[in-house]
Amino acid sequence: MNSESEQAIVRSQLFESLVKKYGGVLVSGRYGGDFNSDQLGVAETAENVTLFLGLKILDGEGGLQLDSASLGPHVQYSAPWLKALVQCLKLSAETTQYSTKIEAAMSRGDLIAAVICMDSNSKEMKVIRVAV
């Protein structure tokens, strides 16, 4: 049985299309907190690796809330969260290649963390870079 709401399915499709637009690929699985609905995408260039997280909905004032209890008691994109993410990705043959790319980019200092979000008022899509 598919328990995702119609809105969640549309948000997932939007996220996937934007990740592809930026030259990335979707990482299987969900990586959020309470509702565990956040997806990941990875795009790699010669200069860096971009890790996309989303789709987040901005609040009425344009604020972004990263989950504070994701992959354990970690705030998304915090150092402990990134380390936990790398370990989780290593557990599956389907995702281990992404753990290697993310871990290498972290050690080189060229990991770009980005959140794909939608403004709740205008429905405009945005990509916000997060310092890691």
Share of the chain above pLDDT 70, in %: 94
Position 33 scores a pLDDT of 61
CB 74 within 8 A of CB 81: yes
Alpha-carbon gap, residue 106 to 83, rounded angstroms: 10
Position 34 scores a pLDDT of 59
Q: In this model, does residue 113 exceed pLDDT 60?
A: yes
Position 9 scores a pLDDT of 85
* pLDDT, tens digit, 9 for 90 and up, residues 44-83: 999 999 999 999 999 888 899 999 988 889 999 999 999 9
H/E stretch holding 118: strand 111-119
**SS3 of 123, please?**
coil
What is the reported pTM? 0.92
Please give the average per-residue pLDDT across 100-129, as a whole number: 95
Position 36 scores a pLDDT of 64
When pLDDT is cut at 50, 70 and 90, the band that residue 85 belongs to is very high
Strands 49-58 and 39-44: antiparallel
Name the DSSP class of 67: -
